[in-house]
Amino acid sequence: MSLIRVGKVVLNRLIENGYEAYFVGGMVRDRLLGRDIYDIDITTSAKPDVVIGLFEKTIQTGIKHGTVTVMIEGIPVEVTTFRVEEAYEDFRRPSEVRFTSSLIEDLKRRDFTMNAIAESIDGTLEDPFHGLKDLSNRQIKAVGEAKERFIEDPLRMLRGLRFMSKLGFELEDETSKAIGEVGALIEHISKERIKKEIEGMVSGEFSLKAFNLLIHTPLCDSITYFKELKRYSSSNLARLEEGVELFALIGLTVEEMEDYLKAWPFSNVEKRMIKAIRECYNKQLPPQYIQYKYKEDLALHYHRIQNVLKQSVEKFELRELPITDRKELAIEVADIIQWINHPKGPWLSQLLEALEFEVVMGTLENEVVSLRNYIQQLGEGYEIKK
């Protein structure tokens, strides 16, 4: 079943049981724009416990905020009860929500007019804040008083920029002005939430446009490390495709990099990747060695970064490597120890890395004789170091 058909099954069930129910949010917006949709949001007058009772399989994803995920044939549909905006304390989302029986009230609490359009099962639109008009003018406009809405939840400002990056729209004047006035409040938002929005921004088709704006707003000034973005010319941000790349590229020192990785909620995989990319960049490692040492995914990532930096569109090509692993060297550690004739130590891994580098680069043949000659020629050097 298509996403929409699945969504209609859920709408039907709610309506048959006497409740109001509509499609809402990003899916309505994206469909009106003729874009693909990836998830379904439904807003309904039914309370969460009623929703749970009406469907065989539900997950209580955000029950505190009135959201239940209904599973239909393995497809999740987010069903949220009409609710009103409660006061935010210390910029935290309210722990409890107040439900309402009014669709309009529910739409009023939403962030932007284009996200506050409800669509009934027969396709009729409920558009009390003229989101349709803003969609056709390609404008991102806050519902109600922009400044008030951003003070209520400062994350909305970054969401606005994320939508700009995704859709290429402009910020409506009042909305833009409000970011200028209260942008600094973003410092109250958790790093997890900020990071998610930034990653969304980076992956948008119009990321350059959004980042160019971001770096001129107080949003940027009040987030440590965002300041680093300003070091980069906008063109360098043009075609970054993944958040990790953006964060890796900011030319930090080792100490700054450590602080940075601690300050943001990166996963271990992301951290490894960022460090590796930084090493490739700082040491200007050649592509075949990057492919050997860090494998294909990272090599591709790094290639993209290089393209951005060099303003080039070179295609990525995997290379045929003489060896793909240290084990494939024609000699073993025991051979080296015997030839060099002194105990194991850090010199050994340095030597192995040098051998791998030369072999991968094709400047040294992976044969016992040539490897031994190379080592013996270095041998004295290693002994002196000791």
CB under 5 to 8 A by kind: which of ligand ATP, Mg ion, none does 197 bind? none
Only one of the segments 18-26, 128-136, 173-181, 311-319 lies at the binding site for Mg ion (rule: CB under 5 A); that segment is 18-26
CB under 5 to 8 A by kind: which of Mg ion, ligand ATP, none does 113 bind? none
Question: Minimum CB separation from ligand ATP for residue 367, in Å?
Answer: 56
Question: Minimum CB separation from ligand ATP for residue 246, in Å?
Answer: 18
- Tell me, rounded to whole angstroms, the distance of Cα 263 from its chain centroid: 16
**Interface ranges with ligand ATP (CB under 6 A):** 25-26, 41, 110-111, 115-116, 153, 155-156
Query: Which residue lies nearer to Mg ion by CB, 39 or 358?
Result: 39
> Which secondary structure element, helix H or strand E, spans residue 125, and what is its range?
strand 125-126
Question: Minimum CB separation from ligand ATP for residue 280, in Å?
Answer: 32
CB under 5 to 8 A by kind: which of Mg ion, ligand ATP, none does 110 bind? ligand ATP
Question: Minimum CB separation from Mg ion for residue 41, in Å?
Answer: 6
Strand pairing class (67-72; 118-119):
unpaired
b/e sequence 181-204, b meaning 16+ C-beta within 10 Å? ebbebbeebeeebbbbbbebbbbb
**Residue number closest to Mg ion, CB atom:** 26
Number of residues forming the site for Mg ion (CB under 5 A): 1
> Which secondary structure element, helix H or strand E, spans residue 41, and what is its range?
strand 40-44
- Distance (Å, rounded) from C-alpha 35 to C-alpha 309? 31
Question: Minimum CB separation from ligand ATP for residue 224, in Å?
Answer: 23
Annotate each residue in 22-51 with x if it binds Mg ion (CB under 5 A) or - if it does not, as one string: ----x-------------------------
Q: Residue 28 burial (CB < 10 Å; 0-12/13-18/19+)?
A: buried
- Distance (Å, rounded) from C-alpha 118 to C-alpha 100? 16
CB under 5 to 8 A by kind: which of Mg ion, ligand ATP, none does 301 bind? none
- Distance (Å, rounded) from C-alpha 160 to C-alpha 200? 11
Query: Which residue lies nearer to Mg ion by CB, 26 or 287?
Result: 26
Tokens of 309: 């930096």
Q: How many CA atoms, within 13 angstroms, populate the side-chain half-sphere of residue 297?
A: 9
Residues that bind Mg ion (CB under 5 A): 26
